[in-house]
Amino acid sequence: MTRSAAIVGTGQTKYVSRREDVSVPELVREAAMRALEDAGLKPGDVDAFVIGSAPEIFEGVNYPENWIGPALGASGKPLMRIHTGGTVGASSTIAGFYHVVSGLFDVVLVAAYEKLSDGNAQYGLSACYDPLWDRDFACGAPGLAGLQARQYLARHAPEVTEEHGAMVAVKNRKNAISNPYAQLQLEITVEDVMASAPVAAPLKLLDCCPTSDGAAAVVIACDRRARKLTPRPAWFAGVGTCSESPYVPHVDMAYPESCVRAAQQAYQMAWIYEPYKELDMAEVYEAFSFQELIWSEALGFCAPGEGGKLIESGRTAMGGEFPINPSGGVLSANPIGASAMIRQLEAATQVMGKAGDHQVPGVKKALAHSWGGAIQFSTVTIFASEI
């Protein structure tokens, strides 16, 4: 019989564009200590550590986990780093999950971070492109996301329009106002978004995420320990990841197969047949507004092409029947290496009833999604109040 595991504590730093008062290890330490405190534990109680971070070129230190580990109390303990691009925050939590359900460790601390202010974000992103084929044309992440949005809009016009992307931006930026950790907290209108400066058409400034410094951490415990540490653990009910090659003929950025498969894997594990009905909310990785529509379809919250109808209906707003990104999402804070973990952290805290001002009432099952690479890596994690 497989062991169970749950998140029993979380911690994060307030996301801002520059945290010049701390070094990278100190930034991660801040989130880690908060997570431990939330779980009622000390560093000495942790059996193993996992660190997740984005390409090393962002902060300029190779194998940064070796430098950061001691700041978390990991000296003399098991430590490994996971590196899967944009999904890393989530895939490191998932690695932590396997650390526990393998039976090797009872309590694991997972931390993920980004300190983009130490380096140059767009240069770092452009260095992700293949030097043989793409690098000469690279223009960071918005370039790719712009192509994705264009493909999506072209396929589903006129049912889906640029205004639907703007509606996502309006919703999430407003949600962020109730999240004390969010970097951007804006009350804006669809007109504001449509009038904002073009970045990579059809993406405009207010369709895009910021660059942020920040860190997040979660404490994962096995069944026996979780029940003692907190009255409402967030149980891992379903976990799925999937990768795909960026160079095959049928790559579909507007309906990524890796996202569909990761979701299938997680739903199967969690015994979920009708996601929209059986889940209470979702946190998806919408670095760019249109992505929330695209992920909603690939995750099965609505049929392909109906993303526009979904956002327009208001059902995914706070107070609606299926809130998406009550935290404000990646549009409101994007410390790249941590962003995928923050989606899990937010979903887990909703299940734990600890989401404060942006708590959705009565959450029993919540989904966290992330994407990464050339829109080729996907993760889906489902948390439940019971297993």
Partner 1 sequence: MDEVGIVGWAQTEHQRAMERETPQSIIYQVVNQALSSCGLSIHDIDVVIDAGSDFLDGRGISTCITVDAMGGHFKEESKVAGDGMLAAIYAYMRIASGLFSTALVVAYGKSSESDPSMQTGTMCEPFFLRPLGFDGLAAAALQARCYMHRYGIGEESTAAVAVKNRKAGAANPYAQLREEVTLDQVIASPHVASPIRELEACPVTDGGCAVVLAHGDIARALRVRPAWIAGVGHCSDSYSPGSRELHKATAASKAAEAAFRLAGVTDPPAQLDLVELTEFYAYQELMLYEAIGLCGEGEGADLLGTGATAAAGRTPSNISGGAICANPLVATGLVRLAEAASQVSGRAAGASVDGAKRALAHGSGGLAMQTAACVVVEK
Partner 2 sequence: MDLKPPELIYLEGETRCNYHWATGGAVAAFLSAIRDHGKLLGAVCESCGGVTVPPQTYCEKCGSSMSDWREVGPGGVVMSWTRIADGYEGAPLEAPFRFVLVRLAGADTAMVHVAPDVDGIKVGATVSPEFKPEGERKGAVTDIRWFVPDAMGGEE
Q: Given the rule CB under 8 A, which residues bind partner 2?
A: 18-23, 25-26, 29, 43-44, 57, 59-60, 70-75, 115, 117-120, 123-124, 127, 131-132, 135
Nearer to partner 1, 62 or 274 (CB): 62
Q: Which of 210, 175, 222 has its CA nearest to residue 327?
A: 175
Among partner 2, partner 1, none, what does residue 197 contact (CB within 5–8 Å per kind)?
none
Kindly state whether residue 77 participates in binding partner 1, applying the rule CB under 8 A. yes
Among partner 2, partner 1, none, what does residue 21 contact (CB within 5–8 Å per kind)?
partner 2
Q: Please answer whether residues 194 and 188 qualify as being in contact, where contact means their C-beta atoms are separated by less than 8 angstroms.
A: no
- Smallest distance from partner 1 to CB 128, Å: 4
Residue showing tokens 């504590």: 9
From 6-14, 141-149, 196-204, 245-253, span contacting partner 1 (CB under 8 A): 245-253
Q: Which of 181, 202, 163 has its CA nearest to residue 309?
A: 163
Among partner 2, partner 1, none, what does residue 43 contact (CB within 5–8 Å per kind)?
partner 2
Among partner 1, partner 2, none, what does residue 73 contact (CB within 5–8 Å per kind)?
partner 2
Any idea what the Cα angle at residue 163 is, between residues 161 and 169, rounded to 5°? 125
Nearer to partner 2, 127 or 318 (CB): 127
Distance CA 203, CA 79 (A): 39
- Smallest distance from partner 2 to CB 62, Å: 12
- Smallest distance from partner 1 to CB 240, Å: 8
What are phi and psi for residue 340, nearest 5 degrees? -70, -35
Kindly state whether residue 44 participates in binding partner 1, applying the rule CB under 8 A. no
Distance CA 110, CA 368 (A): 16
Q: 18-23, long-range: CB within 8 Å, 24+ apart, which pairs?
A: 18/117, 18/213, 19/115, 19/117, 19/213, 19/214, 20/117
- Smallest distance from partner 1 to CB 76, Å: 6
What are phi and psi for residue 93, nearest 5 degrees? -60, -40
Q: Please answer whether residues 171 and 293 qualify as being in contact, where contact means their C-beta atoms are separated by less than 8 angstroms.
A: no
Q: What is the chain's length?
A: 387
Distance CA 115, CA 175 (A): 24
Among 10, 183, 258, 350, binds partner 1 (CB under 8 A): 258
Distance CA 271, CA 132 (A): 43
Terminal CA-to-CA distance of the chain, rounded, Å?
Answer: 14
Using CB under 8 A as the binding criterion, the count of chain residues that bind partner 1 stands at 62
Kindly state whether residue 189 participates in binding partner 1, applying the rule CB under 8 A. no
Residue type at 360 in one-letter notation: V
- Smallest distance from partner 1 to CB 223, Å: 13
Kindly state whether residue 94 participates in binding partner 1, applying the rule CB under 8 A. yes
Which positions lie near partner 1, rule CB under 8 A? 1-3, 23, 54-57, 60-63, 65-67, 69-70, 74-85, 91, 94-95, 98-99, 101-104, 124-125, 127-128, 130-131, 240-248, 257-258, 261, 265, 372-374, 376-377
